[in-house]
Amino acid sequence: EQPIIAKREVTRYILKRFGLHMNKKLGQNFLVDEDVVHGVVDAAEINENDVVLEIGPGIGTLTQGLLEAGAEVFAVELDKRLPPILEHTLEGYDKLHIINADILKTDIKALIGDRPFKVAANLPYYITTPIIMYLLEAKLPITGLVTMVQKEVAERMTAIPGNKIYGALSVAVQYYSHPQICFDVAPQSFMPKPEVVSSVILCKVYDERPIKPIDEKMFFRVVKASFGQRRKTLSNSLGNLGVAKEIIKEVLEESAIDGKRRGETLSLQEFAVLADNFSKKQF
Ligand code: SAM
């Protein structure tokens, strides 16, 4: 029987016993709140049939929750000091694989195979967005992604058209998945305390994406251009595509989208219509 790691005194004991000093550069804030661990496990509906890729297990706090729920866990941790500690803190759990690597340099397919899997992570905030985008774009058989992010980032990911924080990140996340904010997590739930409030976000990855542009690259080019300069009209910001003004005008007309609108008012569907009409121009 292992003690519950998600407790302040247990975490403190582990740090002391292994002489571990947290590395700020690697964004090491460990969870010390059992309710949050259960909340994450429940939100992602983790059960004994699940395969979970955990990114950045730290000393195994969330990992333990995932294992207790019966999942098979692949825990990828960058800090080479941590795997030997995890061998101790999670000793006895036989569905655990510990991998010492940078997730961005890991061949996930070689690790997990073709099985569908879920992703769970409490990552350093500076790298969360790139990692989430990398995983979504890699077109792996991910069914769901549950992660702790800065509250403000969670709000951007789930923002809808017209909201002033709706942007390229919202579109990208919502293109691949249905994101929802599960609950907020106070700084006191971590050791040491971060400066910001966090949110747990669940992205249910689409089996079949509702938006199907002819050319995905064009879709994202149009999105990027449209959000390139806020407060500019669509006809102006689409100029960033490097296309002749006439073509932009034609495409907007064919798409029945008013060029005086701003990029942040367009739905994913509208971006797809625009992108498809640009694709047909073959510039
Ligand atoms: N999951 C643990 C918890 O909730 O207590 C630890 C969370 S801590 C915020 C982030 C962890 O991610 C650290 O252990 C850090 O070393 C690890 N990490 C940072 N960058 C990483 C990367 N590129 N690949 C894998 N792990 C990484």
Q: How far is CA 237 from the centre of its chain?
A: 28
Averaged pLDDT, groups of 10, the chain, 283 residues long: 94 97 91 98 98 98 98 98 98 97 96 97 90 92 96 97 94 97 98 95 96 96 90 92 94 98 96 97 74
Question: What pLDDT does residue 104 have?
Answer: 95
Distance 47 CA to ligand 1 centre (A): 23
Question: What pLDDT does residue 247 have?
Answer: 95
Q: Count the Cβ atoms, other than its own, within 10 Å of residue 35.
A: 11
Answer whether 0.90 is exceeded by the pTM: yes
Q: Using CA positions, which residue lies closest to atom 10 of ligand 1?
A: 123
Question: What pLDDT does residue 231 have?
Answer: 80
The CA distances from residue 232 to 13, 93, 256, 271, in Å, are 55, 55, 19, 16
Residues 36, 160, 129, 73: what is their CA dihedral angle, to the nearest 10 degrees? 40
Q: Using CA positions, which residue lies closest to atom 8 of ligand 1?
A: 28
Query: Is 56 assigned a ligand-binding role in the annotation?
Result: yes
Ligand 1: does its nearest atom lie under 6 Å from the Cβ of 61?
yes
Tokens of 154: 């969670």
Question: What pLDDT does residue 283 have?
Answer: 63
Ligand 1: does its nearest atom lie under 6 Å from the Cβ of 193?
no
Query: Is 31 assigned a ligand-binding role in the annotation?
Result: yes
Q: Which residue among 26, 34, 127, 185 has the greatest number of ligand 1 atoms within 8 angstroms of its CB, and so is best to mutate?
A: 26
Give SS3 for 108. Answer: helix
Query: Is 23 assigned a ligand-binding role in the annotation?
Result: no
Question: What pLDDT does residue 261 have?
Answer: 96
Using CA atoms, how far apart are residues 75 and 57, in angstroms rounded to an integer? 6
Distance 214 CA to ligand 1 centre (A): 37
Ligand 1: does its nearest atom lie under 6 Å from the Cβ of 27?
yes
Distance 260 CA to ligand 1 centre (A): 44
Tokens of 170: 């919202």
Those residues with Cβ within 8 angstroms of residue 269's Cβ, 6 or more apart along the chain or in another chain: 211
* Cα dihedral 152, 157, 160, 162 sign: positive
Query: Is 91 assigned a ligand-binding role in the annotation?
Result: no
Query: Is 15 assigned a ligand-binding role in the annotation?
Result: no
Place of tokens 């759990």: 93
Instruction: Write the single-letter amino acid at 135.
Output: L
Distance 268 CA to ligand 1 centre (A): 32
Residue of 55, 30, 46, 215 whose CA lies nearest to 135 = 55
Tokens of 184: 């907020």
Q: Using CA positions, which residue lies closest to atom 5 of ligand 1?
A: 30
Using CA atoms, how far apart are residues 73 and 93, in angstroms rounded to an integer? 10
